[in-house]
Amino acid sequence: MAKITKFQSVSGMHDILPEDQGYYKRIYEVVSGMAEFYGFQKIDTPILEDTDLFSKSIGETSDVVSKEMYTLKTKGGDSLSLRPEWTAPIVRSYIEHGMHVLPQPLKLWYFGPCYRYERSQADRYRQFWQFGFEIFGESNPVIDAQIIQIQYNILKELKLKNISVEVNSIGDSNCRPYYKKLLGNYLKSRESSLCADCKKRFKENVLRVLDCKDEKCQPIKTEAPQILDHLCDECHSHFKEVLEFLDEIEVPYVLNPYLVRGLDYYTKTVFEIFQESEDGSKKALAGGGRYDKLVKLLGGRDTFACGAATGVERIISLMKAQGIEVSKEKETQVFLAQLGSLAKRKSLKLLEEFRKSKIRVSESFGRDSLKVQLNRANKLGAKYTLIIGQKEALEDVAIVRNMKNGKQDIIKMDKVVADLKKKL
Ligand code: HAM
């Protein structure tokens, strides 16, 4: 006999069970409410895109592209990848649909799964959900501040505690090459003391050394020249204004000169939002920044852009840890108990009337006994149970039982819904 395989969900990917749906729903409600208020329009893109779209935008040497993409060859020979993030697909869509002709700034938002082949560990998944906001066609630093404010406000509205915003500027093509050279020269003399990963980063993208968490590299980082001291005038004044706007809207932040982000497309402002635990450990909840060169890089016109994304599972895990509850599914108001096939038939019709009257009804159309059905009605917290047995079905009536005091009335079938509507 063939062996029966016990299937499990793929490592790093999980089912969203009914008991967790309330968290996704709550987060969706807060995010969509925020999006509507600030004038964002929703966009969805396919989960598969040309692999080149990601390597060109996020960068060949980034961890996301070099190690973490789920890439497949189609029967036609194309190389496609599951989206590891949403920004590149949205830029692709912006260009493909000529969205530059729409009134700018164009504001888009999204909510859906992403895929990264990362080492599975707590809060690091291979399928995870992101929501995010992208604004196209506006260079003013007020946009950068607003993007940060929206992500921050969402976390606040979800009642998360110990949230901190870290910001930095990584300059642009005017000043960053010079800074990279400066940093490279500084690191060259210390290369032998760098961790193994940083020796590689040093060659591939020297900025990423600043992002290293390895103990070995910390003293080297502290002494390194800082990009904020080497921004060109334009990047400097842009960043100064972003910080002034953040002060104005009272979003607390700290400057982190080592924040460089792991995706290549950023220019000027970058930021991350963390949750800090009592033991001092930090969890990244959101990240983003400005990416003024990406639309052109992917074949569009020169277009200013700025955006950010937040990880949904990380928020849920924090909501659970901080004891933040979400409202459960709405309670059953009426339970429909029936016995026999005629009663079942009449109940089915009644159920439709309840639906139209927006009364929340539960039933169990199986072969359960009346006792089992009444128990179920109790468990569901129904206020009333309708009992329709063979006799009631023949007489075209129903017994309406008040579940609190056990009082029962006999009501004509065609008056039942109206009667309950009054009682509830
Ligand atoms: P990111 O920093 O790579 O940025 O991801 C944003 C957020 O997604 C992270 O802060 C984290 O909460 C969540 N996240 C990332 N990887 C995982 C994972 N393996 N498991 C669980 N959660 C994860 C971006 O993706 C950019 N596209 C953000 C952006 C939008 N920049 C401009 N516009």
The string of pLDDT tens digits covering residues 109-132 is 999 999 999 998 889 999 999 999
For residue 393, what is the enclosing H or E element?
helix 390-395
C-beta of 311 in contact with ligand 1 (< 6 A): yes
Residue 263 Cα: closest atom of ligand 1: 3
Q: What is the pLDDT of residues 173-199, one digit of tens each?
A: 999 999 999 999 999 989 999 999 899
Instruction: Write phi, then psi, for 88 (nearest 5 degrees).
Output: -60, -45
Q: Which of 345, 346, 408, 349 is nearest to 374 (CA)?
A: 408
Q: Average pLDDT, stretch 367-373?
A: 85
- Cα–ligand 1 centroid distance for 128 (angstroms): 9
For ligand 1, say whether the CB of 287 is within 6 Å of any of its atoms.
yes
Task: Assess whether the C-beta atom of 314 lies below 6 angstroms from ligand 1.
Answer: yes
pTM: predicted TM-score of the whole model, two decimal places: 0.91
On the question of pLDDT at 1 being above 80, the answer is no
* pLDDT band, very low/low/confident/very high, at 248 (cuts 50, 70, 90): very high
C-beta pairs of 7-15 under 8 Å, 24+ apart in sequence: 10/126, 10/127, 11/120, 11/126, 12/117, 12/118, 12/120, 12/124, 12/125, 12/126, 12/127, 13/125, 13/126, 13/127, 14/125, 14/127
Q: Where does the pLDDT of residue 294 fall: very low under 50, low under 70, confident under 90, or very high at 90 and above?
A: very high
Contact 125 CB / ligand 1 (< 6 Å) = yes
Q: Is the CB of 313 under 6 A from ligand 1?
A: yes
pLDDT tens track for 308-337? 999 999 999 999 999 999 987 778 999 999
Sheet strands (E) in 161-223:
163-169
Distance 288 CA to ligand 1 centre (A): 8
Residues 166, 256 contacting (CB under 8 angstroms): yes
Which residue has the CA at smallest separation from atom 8 of ligand 1?
A: 311
Q: Is the CB of 85 under 6 A from ligand 1?
A: yes
User: Which of 57, 314, 315, 317 for a ligand 1 pocket mutation test, highest count of atoms within 8 Å of Cβ?
Assistant: 314
Residue nearest to atom 1 of ligand 1 (CA): 287
2 has pLDDT over 80: no
Q: Of ligand 1's atoms, which has the minimum distance to the CA of residue 287?
A: 2
Q: Whose CA is nearest to atom 13 of ligand 1?
A: 311
Distance of CA 305 to the CA centre of its chain: 20
- Is-contact 308 289, C-beta < 8 A? yes
Q: Report the separation in Å between the CA atom of 286 and the middle of ligand 1, taken as the mean of its atom positions.
A: 6
